Structure 1
Amino acid sequence: MSKSEEQESSKIWGAFSLVSALLAATVARKGLNASWKAATGKEPPANPADPDVAMREALLWAAVSGTLIAVVRMLATRRAADYYARSTGKLPPGLRADA
């Protein structure tokens, strides 16, 4: 593969992985907000750093939302990489196994 083809492939993969991760994070955030409201009866904290938000609530929200969104984004990126690999016959740039 020529350098320009590899750069083009890298750009395509970058855009594809970014869009899939952002969509997954958006869906996860909506589900998380609804789950939080169902479990606590309150809206999730808009800004956990706000001193008016109870420390326990801020810590719990930060831990749960951060973990869930990171996991969902990782899963979305893995699915995107799998699709990319099936479409092109090779792993995306940056995910190729070390020799």
Structure 2
Amino acid sequence: MNTKSLFANQDIYKLALAGSTVVVGAAVKSLLNTSWKTVAKKNPPLNPAAADTSWKEAILWTIVSSAAIGVAQLLARRGADALFHKANGNVGVNRNATLAGL
């Protein structure tokens, strides 16, 4: 089976999209944990909502981790969409869709 026919299937596209998002999310989470340990000299909060986590630490961890994981997942989705578009010549799922158009 050639690459063009493999990526022509929307189900394969959706699987590749989900898989790349999960893999990238896990890699970024690991990088975040290591970075936090290096900078803060302690483990990141396991549960930022816990009473024994300071507000400053909870808010900082939530902002940093949410932004990093969100951007990484966006990059993974755009990469999967670009690969699908290149291999298939068709647009990906909801390409250029806006919230108003959904």
1:16 Cα deviation from its structure 2 partner: 1.0
Residue 69 of structure 2 corresponds to 69
SS class of match (2:46):
coil
Residue 92 of structure 1 corresponds to 92
Q: Distance in 1 between matches of 2:96 and 2:70?
A: 21
One-letter amino acid of the structure 2 residue matched with residue 14 of structure 1 = K
Residue 39 of structure 1 corresponds to 39
How many residues in Structure 1 have an aligned counterpart in Structure 2? 91
Residue 83 of structure 2 corresponds to 83
Q: Distance in 2 between matches of 1:61 and 1:94?
A: 32
Residue 3 of structure 1 corresponds to none
TM-score, structure 1 normalization: 0.85
Deviation string 1:45-92 (CA, Å, 9 cap, x unpaired) is: 011011110110000000000000000000011011111111111121
One-letter amino acid of the structure 2 residue matched with residue 93 of structure 1 = V
One-letter amino acid of the structure 2 residue matched with residue 74 of structure 1 = L
Question: Is 1:49 paired with 2:49?
Answer: yes
Task: Give the superposed CA RMSD.
Answer: 1.7
Question: Is 1:15 paired with 2:46?
Answer: no
Deviates most, 56-65 or 88-97: 88-97
One-letter amino acid of the structure 2 residue matched with residue 84 of structure 1 = F
Deviation string 1:8-63 (CA, Å, 9 cap, x unpaired) is: 83322221111001100000000010000000000000110111101100000000
**Gapped runs of 5+ residues in structure 1?**
1-7
1:96 Cα deviation from its structure 2 partner: 5.1
TM-score, structure 2 normalization: 0.82
